[in-house]
Amino acid sequence: MDYGFPILSSLIFLPMIGAAALLFIPRSHEDDVRRLALLIAIVEFLLSIPLWFQFDKTTHLMQFVEKRPWIEAWNVNYYLGIDGISILFVLLSTLITILCILVSWTAITEKVKEFFASLLFLEGAMIGVFCSLDFFLFYIFWEAMLIPMYLIIGVWGGPGRLYAAIKFFLYTLVGSVLMLIGIITLYFHGGHTFDILQLSSQSYPFKLQMILFWAFFAAFAVKVPMWPVHTWLPDAHTEAPAAGSVILAGILIKMGAYGFLRFSMPMLPQATQAMMVPMLVLSIIAIIYGAIICLGQDDMKRLIAYSSVSHMGFVTLGMFALNYQGLEGAILQMVNHGVVTGALFLSIGIIYEQTHTREIADYGGLASITPIFAGLFLVFTMAAIGLPGLNGFIGEFLIILGGFASKTWAGFFAATGIIIGAGYMLWLYQRVFFMEKNPKMVALGLRDLNCRELVTLLPMLVLILWIGIYPNVFLSYMHTSVAHLLEQVNASTGGLQANSHGIIECALRFIGG
Amino acid sequence: MNIPVYLLLIPFLPLASFIFTLLYGKRLGDKAHWPPIVAVVISFLCACHAFDQVLHGTHINADLYTWFASAKFKASVGFLLDELTAVMLIVVTSISTLVHIYSVGYMHDDPGYYRFFSYLSLFTFSMLMLVLGNNFLQLYFGWEAVGLSSYLLIGFWYHKKSASDAGKKAFIVNRFGDFGFGLGIIVVFLVFGSVHYDTVFSHVHEAVGQTFNFLGFDFDVISLMAILLFCGAVGKSAQIPLHVWLPDAMEGPTPVSALIHAATMVTAGVFLVARCNPIFSLSPAAMNLVTIIGALTCFFAATIALVQVDIKKVIAYSTVSQLAYMFIGCGVGAYGAGVFHLYTHAYFKALLFLGAGSVIHAMSDEQDIRKMGGLKKYLPITYFTFLIASLSISGIPPFAGFFSKDEILAMAFASPVGAGKFAWFVGTVVAGMTAFYSFRLLFLTFHGEFRGTEEQRKHLHESPLTMTIPLTLLAIGALAAGWVGVPEVLGGENGWAHFLSRVVGHPEVHLSHYTEWTLMIISVAAGLTGIYVAYVMYMVRPEIPVQLAQKYPKLYDILFNKYYVDEFYSATIVQPTINCGRKILRGITDGMIIEGVVNGVPSLIGKFSKVLSRFQTGRVQQYGSVMALGAFILLWIFM
């Protein structure tokens, strides 16, 4: 399993070192800062490509493992590795960072080097979170992400940035503290180790599992964000600069869902099963609540932010369906949501740079003024509302299938989300791109996408079509790991709830009554 | 099994042309129609070849590749070629070809010329994928993709608010149907472990009598499946209660109305029911539901069509009503008859729309029939072809519509399905109404005196050849398309029913020749009566309709305003949902309750921020040192 070259460490520390290097460039050389940041991000991306090709899809074991003793007194290791659940997020992080740098190219004009340094530091920390196999290490990266994100919102954000940044910080912090308590409790009950794999292979008393489940829930649910702890997200998204929103939507909020998959489910299987119905209910509320509230928004970014709440509701629903289709759908949907919502935030950022308004009412008739932009935005819109042939559909369908197989009502209510979803997205599209040209837009003399902006959006377009038309490439990475995860979840109860090849049995249970 | 190239070309040529025209069409300028036309013509030729192959006994069912798979679930992109598909291929590619050619004339000076043609290609591709699929997921793909094309084409003139509203409405209303359709597919998978037609249909008998617990209630599994799938058909084929989008869809350019909203896409629901006939046939409940929805829609749509004054709206409601006939056919088990009507209707209804387009073109975009009249002498070809289409839809022999409508009504009469006789009665009454509103339209438009402005009169002209040639070809179809299904009682062989029976079976009904003749005479008499009444009311004594409207103003208002269904939905569904989002959730729940509870007291944040702002120097180093301190404290705890 040893890859020889410490590729994961390189992926984590290259951008961090790059971030430090940026700070040494004189303030007057702003363009050099941008170029160097872009270069680092591209090298980072190229460095991550071998993961895609070298990854062994036939095993659920951790790959590209690096393990060194770190603080031996407390049995803390520097322990990295990825499996079929985390690999896609590592790759998505390296790609999205490039796009974030591109979209910030001319949008960020103040404290340029600090901005790009924060972005790169954030990238390293995010990859660290996905690669950590030691709880201690994980927690450090988890907290380390907070700081650059807090700065990105608080320093380079919109008018209400301070409020949004502090709200973001506080929500996440409270969750993290509870998680920390959970980690420490686990440390003492799990044989004085922070080794995630080892902790996952043990069983804990049910009562303890429940306590830990809610402690972790506090951290992960805030990050996802699940209803009702979602209210930091609209503020953070709305005030953050485009790159901040993209990272937030693309990667950061995935960490919550990732946390459930990596910790809550394998470590606390009985609690997970016991909490299945409450989690499904919260997910359904998020889906429907998030969708309906979108209909009442006047601000584009806020609308997309609330749509994230709805889409992440699908993700948590798929996860807690606790069956194969639901889980795979959820993981794929996490990628999809990162791509689609990321693309939507990139697009809004691009147009905001010219219009300096997020009010939907200020727009109108953009399809005539900026046709290429309108065309791309339409594809993103359609992907967001789950048009088959584009990526959103695959994830949503698998999730609804999984939910339905698990509890018919879960699939049923989740599916209502796709009706309202079409409603708010098409309404948004109509108000921004269709109808008569808004005089305000005409007065601005908008131009269509330039080359840099096109390059920023095209990778997202390619991913949307690729995952939509041939998702098996992506799904094939998860099959073994998801099967293993389900084994872990079901091991405690004998696997009646759902197992890797049990979908038909599930169905028969329903048919048989 | 390998998929022959000709079959692959049928859908993928239009796809290639869509991509090419979208990217490079602008540079082609007024020649942008060439790639789509060449593509669709070759598609048509390949479809003819495919039809010929099926006639000679070839059947194909093969996967191209696995679309997505997760454990036992597997969806493929795959093709099924059988009698039903072959018929649909011919209908879709032939009408699409003619509409492409017609559009060259109709859209010639539109600034979005290339965009229009690329969308037409996209639609053709989507529709062909829909009918060619060998599994439910691909059907769903085609289903949504035609929805997208429809959205784009209805809203083609997107600068008009009404057009962009209509496109959006069509998409969202269809989503209501797709909601059920999607769940139906999921139930199919959970019961049979597959979404491939052949597996599902060959195992469908095993599921008879089983129940499925859905939302806490035990349902008969076959009925549940059939009814959920039927939800999709109700949306796409604009049946009650989801019919509201189709009349609004007339905002799209008229060739689009002919192709998508008359001949092909809206018939997808009928295709769905016919394709799934092994499931539907096993559920009397579902069959009755299909029949009743068909009969109700048939009647209500026809009553609305009686009083509309927009030339396209009349034809749109007539489409809703005619689609309902097809569902009656399917509902009473005569799927072959339903598909037969789908096929003849495609020609005469496309002809009516394209004829209307020719009129609108000549009238400088006027659509109100009260301002037309006497166009016969200015538009002779249009008039003549329109007349043929009107005779066909009115069910007058030997025009195409007669054979298919008669078949449906006879089958409904003879059907053992409970609602059969009721559907026959309604269908016969509506046959008379159909003839009435069709000829009302014809008389008001083409006969009498011209009622438009002098300006419009000067511009009146017959349409160019690119438009009249498709009209003429469609007129041949509207006349002769039905001759492939002449019933035995008239000395024919009913080749149609025999051809399709391998896929859709043939209902076990027996009608004496005496009964068949009687039914036929009744339905033709109903049609002739309708024409006669229209003649009297609009040619001989034009004051009658005015008096009627004055005498029964309430009834007239209700019909003219389409039973206020749109207003009802707006007041009960649309506005409450938006208000809920805006006022309750955004303002109260999210803004006050959740914020309040989760944040503690919002002012706390204010206080906290003052404390925090001291730390918030923006310097990473400082945060770094704070972190280090935190880590240190952690270590200390563990000591």
State yes or no: pLDDT of A433 exceeds 60.
Answer: yes
pLDDT digits (tens, 9 = 90+) for A169-192: 888 888 888 888 889 888 888 888
B453: tokens are 């402005």
B67: tokens are 């679309």
How many Cβ pairs closer than 8 A exist between chain A and B?
207
Q: From the list B161, B216, B581, which residue is nearest A296 (CB)?
A: B581
Q: Do A472 and B585 touch (CB under 8 A)?
A: no
Per the DSSP assignment, residues forming a β-bridge with B219 are B212
State the pLDDT at residue A511: 40
Q: From the list A171, A387, A401, which residue is nearest B189 (CB)?
A: A401
Q: What is the mean pLDDT of chain A?
A: 88
B259: tokens are 């192709």
Q: Which residues contact B228 (CB under 8 A, 6 or more apart)?
A: B180, B181, B183, B184, B187
Closest residue in B to A19 (Cα) is B620
Compute the nearest-CA separation of A513 from chain B (Å): 6
Q: Do A324 and B70 touch (CB under 8 A)?
A: yes
A498: tokens are 């759902």
State the pLDDT at residue A220: 92
Contact predicate B485/B410, CB 8 Å? no
CA–CA dist A396, A332 (Å, integer): 9
Q: Which of residues 192-211 of B touch A (CB under 8 A)?
A: 193, 210-211
State the pLDDT at residue B490: 82
State the pLDDT at residue A495: 40
State the pLDDT at residue A332: 95
- Over range B556-575, report the average pLDDT: 88
Q: Which of residues 279-338 of B touch A (CB under 8 A)?
A: none
pLDDT band at B150 (very low <50, low <70, confident <90, very high): very high
Q: From the list B168, B211, B215, which residue is nearest A412 (CB)?
A: B215
pLDDT digits (tens, 9 = 90+) for B352-372: 999 999 999 898 888 999 889
Mutate to test the interface with A, among B136, B190, B584 (most CBs of A within 10 A): B190
Strand, helix or coil at A78?
Answer: strand
Pairwise pLDDT comparison (B586 vs B11), residue with the higher score: B11
Contact of B215 with chain A, judged by CB distance below 8 Å, is answered with yes
Q: Which of residues 108-167 of B touch A (CB under 8 A)?
A: 137, 140-141, 144-145, 148, 151, 155, 158-161, 164-165
Q: From the list A155, A430, A511, which residue is nearest B168 (CB)?
A: A430
Q: Do B585 and A296 touch (CB under 8 A)?
A: yes
Positive or negative, the Cα torsion across A162, A163, A166, A171?
Answer: negative
Q: Do B183 and A412 touch (CB under 8 A)?
A: yes
Q: Which of residues 555-614 of B touch A (CB under 8 A)?
A: 577-578, 580-583, 585-587, 589-590, 594-595, 597-599, 605, 608-609, 612-613
State the pLDDT at residue A316: 95
State the pLDDT at residue A510: 43
- Over range B592-610, report the average pLDDT: 59
pLDDT band at B461 (very low <50, low <70, confident <90, very high): confident
- Over range B401-412, report the average pLDDT: 92
pLDDT digits (tens, 9 = 90+) for A386-426: 999 999 999 999 999 999 999 999 999 999 999 999 999 99
**Which residues on chain A are in Cβ contact (under 8 Å) with B585?**
289, 292-293, 296
- Over range B439-462, report the average pLDDT: 90
Q: Do A434 and B211 touch (CB under 8 A)?
A: no
pLDDT digits (tens, 9 = 90+) for A6-47: 889 999 999 999 999 988 888 888 888 899 999 999 999 999
- Over range B446-450, report the average pLDDT: 90
CA–CA dist A404, A399 (Å, integer): 8
Q: Do A293 and B161 touch (CB under 8 A)?
A: no
Contact predicate B70/B125, CB 8 Å? no
ipTM of this complex prediction, to 2 decimal places: 0.90
Contact of B171 with chain A, judged by CB distance below 8 Å, is answered with yes
**Which residues on chain A are in Cβ contact (under 8 Å) with B206?**
none
Positive or negative, the Cα torsion across A284, A277, B184, B295?
Answer: negative
Predicted TM-score (pTM) of this structure: 0.91
Q: Which long-range contacts link B15-21 to residues 24+ away (Cβ below 8 Å)?
A: B15/B121, B15/B122, B15/B125, B17/B118, B17/B121, B18/B118, B18/B119, B18/B121, B18/B122, B18/B125, B21/B114, B21/B117, B21/B118, B21/B121
DSSP string computed for A126-176? HHHHHHB-BHHHHHHHHHHHHHHHHHHHHHHS-TTHHHHHHHHHHHHHHHH
Share of chain A above pLDDT 90, in %: 58
Q: Which residues contact B7 (CB under 8 A, 6 or more apart)?
A: B46, B50, B60, B79, B81, B132
Residue with tokens 């303002």: B587
Of B219, B218, B427, the closest CA to residue B331 belongs to: B427
Q: From the list B221, B594, B631, which residue is nearest A140 (CB)?
A: B631
- Over range B483-511, report the average pLDDT: 83
Q: Do B168 and A289 touch (CB under 8 A)?
A: no
Contact predicate B255/B102, CB 8 Å? yes
State yes or no: pLDDT of B609 exceeds 70.
Answer: no
Of B176, B222, B324, B342, the closest CA to residue B271 belongs to: B342
pLDDT band at A333 (very low <50, low <70, confident <90, very high): very high
Q: Do B215 and A430 touch (CB under 8 A)?
A: no
Of A281, A57, A241, A70, the closest CA to residue A159 belongs to: A241
pLDDT digits (tens, 9 = 90+) for B255-307: 999 999 999 999 999 999 999 999 999 999 999 999 999 999 999 999 999 99
Question: Measured between alpha carbons, how far is residue B202 from residues A508, B220, B273, B279 in Å?
Answer: 18, 19, 17, 10
Contact predicate A239/A164, CB 8 Å? yes
State yes or no: pLDDT of B593 exceeds 80.
Answer: no
**Which residues on chain B are in Cβ contact (under 8 Å) with A228?**
594, 597-598
Q: Do A231 and B65 touch (CB under 8 A)?
A: no
State yes or no: pLDDT of B571 exceeds 90.
Answer: no
State the pLDDT at residue A504: 43
pLDDT digits (tens, 9 = 90+) for B317-334: 999 999 999 999 999 989
Q: From the list B211, B598, B620, which residue is nearest A229 (CB)?
A: B598
Q: Do A147 and B623 touch (CB under 8 A)?
A: yes
**Which residues on chain B are in Cβ contact (under 8 Å) with A422?**
171-172, 175
Contact predicate B65/B77, CB 8 Å? yes
A230: tokens are 């979602």
Phi-psi region of A386 (alpha: psi -120 to 50; beta: other; left: phi over 0): left
**Which residues on chain B are in Cβ contact (under 8 Å) with A169?**
612
pLDDT band at B626 (very low <50, low <70, confident <90, very high): low
Contact predicate A284/A413, CB 8 Å? yes
CA–CA dist A212, A235 (Å, integer): 29
CA–CA dist B257, B57 (Å, integer): 35
> Cα B309 vs. chain centroid, distance in angstroms?
23
Q: From the list B186, B609, B616, which residue is nearest A404 (CB)?
A: B186
Compute the nearest-CA separation of B636 from chain A (Å): 11
**Which residues on chain B are in Cβ contact (under 8 Å) with A141?**
none
Q: Do B190 and A409 touch (CB under 8 A)?
A: no
State the pLDDT at residue B143: 95
- Over range B56-69, report the average pLDDT: 91
Q: Where are the alpha helices (DSSP H) in B160-265?
A: 161-192, 197-203, 221-236, 245-248, 254-258
Q: What is the mean pLDDT of chain B?
A: 89
Closest residue in A to B606 (Cα) is A163
Contact of B217 with chain A, judged by CB distance below 8 Å, is answered with no
- Over range B94-115, report the average pLDDT: 92
Q: What letter does residue B135 receive in the DSSP assignment?
A: B
State yes or no: pLDDT of B373 exceeds 90.
Answer: no
Of A118, A130, A121, the closest CA to residue A51 belongs to: A130
CA–CA dist B299, B409 (Å, integer): 14
**Which residues on chain B are in Cβ contact (under 8 Å) with A472?**
66-69
Q: From the list A140, A367, A400, which residue is nearest B186 (CB)?
A: A400
- Among A149-153, B253-257, B269-273, B490-494, the least confident range: B490-494
Instruction: Return the axis-axis angle of helices B400-414 and B465-480, rounded to nearest 10°.
Output: 40
pLDDT digits (tens, 9 = 90+) for A444-453: 888 899 999 9
pLDDT digits (tens, 9 = 90+) for A483-509: 999 988 887 654 444 443 444 444 444
Q: What letter does residue B396 receive in the DSSP assignment?
A: -
Of A59, A62, A67, A80, the closest CA to residue A11 belongs to: A80
Indicate the helix (H) or strand (E) that contains B402.
helix B400-414
CA–CA dist A150, A114 (Å, integer): 13
